[in-house]
Amino acid sequence: MRATDLDPTFISHAPGYWADEDTEKWSDYKWQLRNRVNTLSDLESRINLTDVERAGVLLAGNKLAMSITPHFFNLVDRDDPNCPIRRQIIPRIEEGWTAPEELADPCGEDSHMPVPGLVHRYPDRVLFLVTDRCASYCRYCTRSRVVSGVGEQHLEMNWEAAFKYLEQHTEVRDVLLSGGDPLLLSDTILDRLLTRLRSIPHIQFVRIGSRIPIFLPQRITPELCQMLRKHHPLFISIHTNHPRELTSEVRDGLGRLADAGIPMGNQSVLLRGINDSVEVQKALVHKLLMCRVRPYYLYQCDLITGSTHLRTSVAEGVEIIEGLRGHTTGYAIPQYVIDGPGGGGKIPINPNYMIDSVPGKVTLRNYEGNLFEYPDPTPVPDGVMEKLHHRALHGCS
Ligand SMILES: *Cc1c(COP(=O)(O)O)cnc(C)c1O
Ligand code: SF4
């Protein structure tokens, strides 16, 4: 961590490692995508790599690709292998070891797909996977079995079959577009997709899950915002884990989305050595509010293969929530959840504030550890209401 990571300020890290490029190219998202760091030689020409990382990069080739936008790469510390940005996107040899509790499909998505790419787990909403590509790849990705296109399994999609399923299932009122990253699709394709979903009368609410505002804020063009705002009510769930990720470019991109009337939530993953402290989480959620983004979920890291070096205990997550609740703005506090391994869905995990419960009352503790009793309502004794009634009508005291 750097001392400045905890400052509530938004800075640009450009041009950073790309000092020779002109700024016009820098702000072109297509240039950013074309110039992603995705080879060992490119990586080694820019930062001092450790053996653990070098071996990890070689291994990543047939598991989950390495790919990092220049914008995001600029947040990487050149010399510090424990840099919280570096550990999210540069592979390490530890990814090659699968712990006994780990799974290729930790949330049991493949077994809940009535149509390829459509996960229907909850009664009224679906997860619609619309692409297998992202602007950069997170080493802990819960869908690493299918994203990036280099692993053994490929993401099967059939949009027409998905639309047909949604039309037939009138109980679905909420569609969450994810992948991969839906904002990597072109404006035209996204527009067509959203228009098609909006033509289904029972779909009330559409959300897009995207890490593009963080990896590639240049993609949040005025044209994109203009198109998205035609499809309201539309929400966006962004994904950011560390306050350094909230640069001035990211703040401006998020501002354009907010100005287009799009409510935004953030999903973070609790990651060991990256954001597993109250001070880092606090800095993150405060900066998010400044960007008009409401912290939504803090995920316990899924049991994805090769993730032991990035996972924390559940107790550490509870401790972080404990350190936020009461100590800062309620709007700043995400719900901590564990996605039930094998397909249980999101299960909320909270510090225990109700320390006792007996018939008639509960005993609570507040954020400072002080105790309070809250009684159940007292039943009104017989005759009291009659007496009050009489007094109201006949006015005696
Ligand atoms: C996360 C998720 C959703 C959305 O859940 P919310 O709690 O409404 O955000 C829907 N379907 C699946 C399969 C999910 O994993
Ligand atoms: S952006 Fe999302 S889908 Fe893409 S690699 Fe990261 S966590 Fe996975």
Task: List, for residues 35-44, the tens digit of each pLDDT value.
Answer: 999 999 999 9
Catalytic residue status for 138: yes
Average pLDDT of span 112-122? 96
Q: Which atom of ligand 1 is nearest to the CA of 345?
A: 15
CATH architecture of 110-348: Alpha-Beta Barrel (3.20)
Average pLDDT of span 11-31? 93
Instruction: Give ligand 1 pocket residues (Cβ under 6 A).
Output: 119, 121-122, 125, 127, 176, 346
d(C-alpha 216, C-alpha 298), whole Å = 22
Catalytic residue status for 396: no
Which residue owns the Cα nearest ligand 2 atom 7?
141
Q: Annotated binding site for [4Fe-4S] cluster, which residues?
A: 134, 138, 141
Q: Which atom of ligand 2 is nearest to the CA of 215?
A: 1
Catalytic residue status for 122: yes
Share the mean pLDDT of the chain.
96
Average pLDDT of span 249-262? 98
Catalytic residue status for 137: no
Predicted local confidence at residue 95, as pLDDT: 96
Q: Is the CB of 138 within 6 Å of ligand 2?
A: yes
Domain ranges of the chain: 14-90, 110-348, 352-397
**pLDDT, tens digit (0-9, with 9 covering 90-100), for 163-212:** 999 999 999 999 999 999 999 999 999 999 999 999 999 999 999 999 99
Q: Which atom of ligand 1 is nearest to the CA of 120?
A: 13
Per-residue confidence band for 22, with pLDDT thresholds at 50, 70 and 90 = confident
**pLDDT, tens digit (0-9, with 9 covering 90-100), for 270-293:** 999 999 999 999 999 999 999 999
> Is the confidence at residue 60, as pLDDT, over 80?
yes
Smallest-distance ligand from the CA of 113: 1
Q: Is the CB of 271 within 6 Å of ligand 2?
A: no
Average pLDDT of span 90-113? 96
Smallest-distance ligand from the CA of 139: 2
Q: Annotated binding site, which residues?
A: 134, 138, 141
Smallest-distance ligand from the CA of 68: 2
Contacts of 225 (CB under 8 A, 6+ apart): 256, 257, 259, 260, 262
Catalytic residue status for 339: yes
